[in-house]
């Protein structure tokens, strides 16, 4: 007798199929879309680079404005001082020459009556009133003022050039938003190079002022020598008769006073250079 074996029903068979994957969330879908666009991925980096470039620009511009104001004030002070001393030197030289030639005519008459004593006096006056020492003092001071004015004009030209560079940088800063970070860094590097060149020009100008101060000190030493010679001449005049020596004493005193005034004016210029923290 045959035995029928019942096959299991479809409901009793084990399930071998996996459940379908759940749908992707909305955030995962948006992230996949953003990763497919590399230009938008680099946008925050470019914005950060732009902000850093603008901060560098503001700092450099503030330092340059400060140096420009200091250069302008220094230029006006030195120019006014130079013009005043130059005009004063010219007027004093004219008065000095008039007095000198007038007194020489009077001294010839006195020298004829006292040939021996007045010969010694003439030698002493020659050391003080000769044209060559006077010209040395005058031309050294004139060359000093000329070189100082040329230095200031060069500094003013450099300042104007920096101002033009700043204006160009401001005009181009609007276009930096559309450029990549590498180009921004190149422009910042170029501007820093220009700032370093301006700093080198400033250092060169300070060096020239230091040299000018040393030249002024040399002129001051010459003025001290003239004053010592005038003092020695007064001792010689003490041996002359009072009536004759009074004329020469007034001349020597006047020349010594004028030399001292010039020396004091040059000493003030040395003090002004030292006030700029330049060692002479």
Q: Is the dihedral of CA 167, 171, 173, 179 positive or negative?
A: negative
For residue 15, how far is the Cα from the chain centroid?
Answer: 91
Six-digit token string for 76: 């006006």
Position 41 scores a pLDDT of 58
The pair phi, psi for residue 115, each rounded to 5°, is -70, -35
Position 87 scores a pLDDT of 76
Alpha-carbon gap, residue 186 to 182, rounded angstroms = 6
Classify the phi-psi angles of 5: left when phi > 0, otherwise alpha if psi is within -120 to 50, otherwise beta.
beta
Could you identify the residue written with the tokens 């879309």? 33
DSSP code for 278: -
Position 42 scores a pLDDT of 57
By the 8 A CB rule, do 145 and 86 touch? yes
pLDDT in single tens digits along all 280 residues of the chain: 444 444 444 444 444 445 554 544 444 443 454 455 555 555 676 677 677 778 877 888 887 778 788 777 777 777 777 777 777 777 778 777 777 777 776 766 666 666 666 666 666 565 556 556 556 666 666 666 566 566 667 777 777 887 787 778 777 776 666 666 667 677 778 878 888 888 888 888 888 888 888 888 888 888 888 888 877 777 777 776 676 667 777 777 887 788 888 888 888 888 887 887 777 6
Q: Per this entry, what is the length of the chain?
A: 280
């Amino acid at each position: 007798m045959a035995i029928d074996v019942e096959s299991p029903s479809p409901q009793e068979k084990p399930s071998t199929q996996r459940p379908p994957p759940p749908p992707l969330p909305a955030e995962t879908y948006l992230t996949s879309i953003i990763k497919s666009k590399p230009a938008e991925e680099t946008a925050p980096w470019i914005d950060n680079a732009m902000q850093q470039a603008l901060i560098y620009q503001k700092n450099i511009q503030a330092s340059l404005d400060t140096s420009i104001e200091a250069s302008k004030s220094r230029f006006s002070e030195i120019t006014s001082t130079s013009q005043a001393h130059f005009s004063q030197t010219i007027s004093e030289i004219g008065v000095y020459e008039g007095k000198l030639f007038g007194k020489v005519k009077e001294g010839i008459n006195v020298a004829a009556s006292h040939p021996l004593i007045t010969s010694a006096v003439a030698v002493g006056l020659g050391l003080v009133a000769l044209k060559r020492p006077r010209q040395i003092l005058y031309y050294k001071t004139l060359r000093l003022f000329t070189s100082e004015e040329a230095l200031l004009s060069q500094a003013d030209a450099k300042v104007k050039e920096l101002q033009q560079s700043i204006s160009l940088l401001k005009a181009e800063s609007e276009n930096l938003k559309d450029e990549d970070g590498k180009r921004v860094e190149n422009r910042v590097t170029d501007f820093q190079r220009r700032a370093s060149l301006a700093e080198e020009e400033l250092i060169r100008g300070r060096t020239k002022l230091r040299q000018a101060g040393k030249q002024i000190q040399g002129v001051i030493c010459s003025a001290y020598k003239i004053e010592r010679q005038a003092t020695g001449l007064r001792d010689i005049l003490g041996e002359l008769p009072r009536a004759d020596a009074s004329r020469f004493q007034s001349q020597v005193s006047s020349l010594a006073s004028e030399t001292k005034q010039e020396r004091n004016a040059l000493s003030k210029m040395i003090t002004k250079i030292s006030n700029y923290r330049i060692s002479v």
